[in-house]
Amino acid sequence: MVNRDRQNRLKILRSVPDSVSLVPEQPQNLVISMAPPPSDPSNQDVIRRQKKGAPIKFLVPLIYAPVLPLIRLSLRHKPVLRDRLFTAVLAGAFAHGFYLVTDIYDAESK
């Protein structure tokens, strides 16, 4: 079985013309065009510092996601307050999600 597979591979390799390279060629003259260096006075207005990491608006769900079950568990004996607070936090979560989605669509339309 192993010999058959090896023979099939060899047949395939022999059938490939010599002009076809099986190894991708490395580019010889690769020119990468990037923004001019910061010392260029014509681009001083355009240079901005890029933030590293995720924006805080995308990390907010990590805060309110565990808060929802904690509200349900901790206010078990005060059902009116529990339901109102849970509804308010849930409405805030949906409003935040709606803001994120409309912000994305607004950025795409520009």
- What single DSSP character describes residue 52? P
The domain of 61 spans 53-110
Rg, Å, the chain Cα set: 30
For 68-96, write each residue's pLDDT tens digit: 999 999 999 999 999 999 999 999 999 99
Quote the percentage of the chain above a pLDDT of 90: 28
Does a structural domain hold residue 22? no
Asked whether residue 1 is assigned to any structural domain, the reply reads: no
Q: Is 90 left (phi over 0), alpha (psi -120 to 50) or beta?
A: alpha
Cα–Cα dist 86/92, whole Å: 10
Q: Is residue 78 part of a domain?
A: yes
pLDDT tens profile 1-22: 667 777 777 677 666 666 555 5
Does residue 68 fall inside a structural domain? yes
Asked if the structure places residue 58 within a domain, the reply is yes
Query: Does the residue 91 lie in any domain?
Result: yes
Note the Cα 92 to chain centre separation in Å. Answer: 24
- In angstroms, rounded to a whole number, what is the distance separating the alpha carbons of residues 103 and 60? 15
Whether 83 is in a domain gets the answer yes
Average the pLDDT over each of 50-54, 55-59, 64-68, 103-107 and give the range with the smallest value: 50-54
In a domain, 33, yes or no: no
Q: How many structural domains comprise the chain?
A: 1
Q: How many CB atoms lie within 10 A of CB 82?
A: 16
Global pTM value: 0.48
